[in-house]
Amino acid sequence: MFRIFWRRVAFGAAAILYAMSAFSATGTIVVENTGTFEYASDENGLAITFENANTHTRSRYRQRPFDECSAMSMYRVRGTAQVAIDGSCPSRGGEVFVHVYEWNTRVQDWCLIRQITGEKSDVPSGDYAGSREVARVMNCPKIGSDGSYSYESTEDVKKNIDGELAALKDAEKDKARLDRYLTQMPFYLPLEIAGYVGKIDVQLANDLGFFLAQRGRASDAIPLLQKIVLMYPGRVVAKLNLADALWESGQQAPARTQYSEYVSQMQNDDKRDRIPHRAFERSRQ
C-alpha cells in the first residue's frame, strides 16, 4: 500500500524564525547498547549526530522542518529503544508531525517506523483529545528522508493490534507482567489502537485505557477512551474511565461532563447503588 507524503512546503525566512523563536531545542539522547545522539535546532531544522556505541563511528543527519510552523525537537520514546523527531506546531490545536525511528541491526542505521500526523487538542473549544493518526512505515527510510513512503496495509496492522490486545489479556493474569507490558508500551500504540475501534475487541481496548490511566498515563489513554465512548455510547464503564482519565490529566471541565453523563446513564439503568462516590462528587463540583 503506497501513500505519498502529502506536504512539501516552501519555507519563508520569517516563518522559520517564528518557529525557532517559539521553540528552540538542543540536547543529547543516549540509547543503551546502541549509541548517542546529539541534536540542535537551527534555521534549517535539526542537525543530528549519532555515535555508534559499538563501532564509535559517527553519522550525521539533517531533518528539515515538516511545516512552516514546525518547532523541531527530538526525544527518546519512553519504554523503548526508539527515538522521535517532533516537528509539531506549538500552538493550541496546532498540526502534529512526529517521526519515530528504530535502530535496524541489518542495515546498521535508524529506520522510520511510524509517522504520526493530525492536530493537537484544543481544550477551550471542547476538543480534549485532538485527532492524530499513526501510519506504519516500511522499507527503512533514514533520518531526514523525504518523499514517498510505503505503508503497511490496514489488514496487517489490524492483525498486529489483535496480537497486542491478546498479549494484554494474557498479561492481565499477573500484575508484574501487566506492569512490564504497560511500561514498555510506546505512546503511539494506544493511538494506533484507537484507529481500529469498531474492528477489534472493545473490552480489551477499554481495559488498556483504564490500565494506562491508573498508571499515570492518562494523556495516552484519553484518545483511546474517547473513541470508545464515541463509537459505543451505551458502554457506560468507558465513560467513567474517560472521566477519570480527564480528571487525572487536569481537564476537570470535560471530566465533569463525562461524570454527569455516566451518573445519569447508570441511574436510568437502575444501577445507582453501583455508582462510585467520586463520580457523584466530581460531577457536582
* pLDDT interval class at 23 (50, 70, 90): very low
Cell of 122: 484544543
> Average pLDDT for residues 98-106, to the nearest whole number?
97
Strands (E), 217-285: none
In the numeric block, which cell numbers belong to residue 255? 471530566
Domains, the chain, with CATH or none: 2-151 (no CATH), 154-284 (1.25.40.10)
Residue with cell 437502575: 270
| Interval 48-99: pLDDT, tens | 999 999 999 999 999 999 999 999 999 999 999 999 999 999 987 799 999 9
Cell triple for residue 220? 495516552
The amino acid at residue 183 is T
Q: Cα(134)–Cα(151) distance, rounded to whole angstroms?
A: 10
Query: Cell numbers at residue 94, please?
Result: 496546532
C-alpha cell belonging to residue 27: 540536547
When pLDDT is cut at 50, 70 and 90, the band that residue 127 belongs to is confident
The values of phi and psi at residue 2, to 5°, are: -120, 145
Banded pLDDT at 151 (limits 50, 70, 90): very high
